[in-house]
Amino acid sequence: MTAPTKAPTAHSLPSYLQADHLGPWGIFLQQVDRVEPYLGNLARWVETLKRPKRILVVDVPIHLDDGSVAHFEGYRVQHNTSRGPGKGGVRFHQDVTLSEVMALSAWMSIKNAAVNVPYGGAKGGIRVDPKTLSRGELERMTRRYTSEIGIIIGPNKDIPAPDVNTNEQIMAWMMDTYSMNQGSTATGVVTGKPVDLGGSLGRREATGRGVFTVGVEAAQHIGLQIAGARVAVQGFGNVGGVAGKLFAEAGAKVVAVQDHGGTIFKEAGLDVPALLKHVAETGSVGGFAGAEVIANDAFWDVPCDILIPAALEQQITAANAGRITARLVIEGANGPTTPQADDILHERNILVLPDVIANAGGVTVSYFEWVQDFSSFFWDEDEINRRLVRIMKEAFAAVWHVAQENKVSLRTATFIVACKRILHTRELRGLYP
């Protein structure tokens, strides 16, 4: 059953947004509207979710290598901090908008509550194509951005992490810049750092491992065998690459992979370790020997049992949802499915394991990293993976139960679990003053 929906109400829109150009934030508002009927008395607090707590827009000026000065637009949004400090990644991408960062920060609030880690939700970004910058320019931009948002981040305030086009090195520069400004080393200000600098073992693989863990749980519930299952993956970076590797190791056949460099297909299953090596060396799946190149749009028609979107938002739309052959969609990316596509997949009896639970493995191990940084005591990788798998399985079981009980999608069920947790803490804390 699909929950009743209603158009976002005008009074819930801040003046800097226009009702007809809501972008990803509009998708989040629709998701909240779907969950509202299930919130009981806590629904009186629901406007809290429709307004980010804090938005910082910053100008990031740097010297380019040619001596000129360039300005970049940067953001940090703290959607909600009722359950703890803000937590969420930083994205460097030319298409970053305020609406996108707002939505991503809100999905972090939901995700962190769904796996019950003691964080609120936040996100940051710079509107830039980092591939156009030299390493020196990238470092200067990262450091200036960190200084600009330094007034609202901190180990107890808001803890950034990597996202699209940001990595361990960027986190090391962010940590160093914040520490220089504070006058002491503060490893806990960001997660996803290099292991030699307070990072956690298992963090790089954590999101893909979480995708695999809950994917296997969901497959069991719909009677889908992993051994021999055909898997198609969009995005073969940190999330898609690791998830593809783990599914292949479990006996599944990765039959199609798409990234920014093209789409490849092999009915008998791709050699995933060789493909990962090729991507590490060349930056893309394009040019990989031993696979057929197919048109990018044909990716959506590939016969498969499991589809893993692990690239960018709004990839599964009303235009292609009717063509997908998979029985299970596991959202590795944030926001890859539009609400219209969600409804089409639901009507076609395709189970969607939503981003807010499926890709929560990364933030779960980020939480472990933060805890380890505070105690300066580091765990071994087995312990990290064991704790990660336990948290992911427990979160999945709770969401599955709520979905069955209320006859709603797993996305709405995850929102029910998470929004209740967030709004319950809102109510317990009360309004100050």
The verdict on 259 binding ligand NAD (CB under 6 A) reads: yes
Q: Which stretch binds ligand NAD (CB under 6 A): 70-78, 168-176, 238-246, 373-381?
A: 238-246
Q: In one letter, which amino acid is 288? A: F
Contact 121, 106 (CB under 8 A): yes
Smallest gap from Cβ 357 to ligand NAD, in A, equals 11
The verdict on 302 binding ligand NAD (CB under 6 A) reads: no
131 annotated as belonging to a binding site for a ligand: no
Single out the residue of 82, 226, 362, 395 in contact with ligand NAD (rule: CB under 6 A): 362
Alpha-carbon gap, residue 215 to 243, rounded angstroms: 10
Helix, strand counts (H, E) of the chain? 12, 12
87 annotated as belonging to a binding site for a ligand: yes
Single out the residue of 42, 46, 114, 164 in contact with ligand NAD (rule: CB under 6 A): 164
Smallest gap from Cβ 277 to ligand NAD, in A, equals 14
Maximum distance among all Cα pairs of the chain, rounded to whole angstroms: 65
Site for ligand NAD in 61-80 (CB under 6 A): none
- Tell me whether residue 29 or residue 358 sits nearer to ligand NAD (CB atom): 358
157 annotated as belonging to a binding site for a ligand: no
Residue 50 annotated to the active site: no
Site for ligand NAD in 191-230 (CB under 6 A): 207
The verdict on 234 binding ligand NAD (CB under 6 A) reads: yes
- Tell me whether residue 104 or residue 423 sits nearer to ligand NAD (CB atom): 104
* Residue whose pair of structure tokens reads 């939700």 in the numeric block: 121
Pairing type for strands 121-127 and 158-162 reads unpaired
Q: Which stretch binds ligand NAD (CB under 6 A): 20-28, 112-120, 232-240, 341-349?
A: 232-240
Q: What are residue 145's phi and psi, to 5 degrees?
A: -60, -45
Number of residues that bind ligand NAD (CB under 6 A): 23
Catalytic residue among 6, 50, 53, 123: 123
Pairing type for strands 292-294 and 262-265 reads antiparallel
b/e string for 269-306 if b means 16 or more Cβ within 10 A?
Answer: ebbbeebbebbeeeeebeebeebeebeeeebbebebbb
Pairing type for strands 86-93 and 158-162 reads parallel
* Residue whose pair of structure tokens reads 């930056």 in the numeric block: 283
Q: Which stretch binds ligand NAD (CB under 6 A): 140-148, 157-165, 371-379, 395-403?
A: 157-165
DSSP states along 15-28: TTS-GGG-THHHHH
Binding site listing: 87, 111, 207, 238, 366
Residues marked as catalytic? 123
Binding site listing for NAD(+): 207, 238
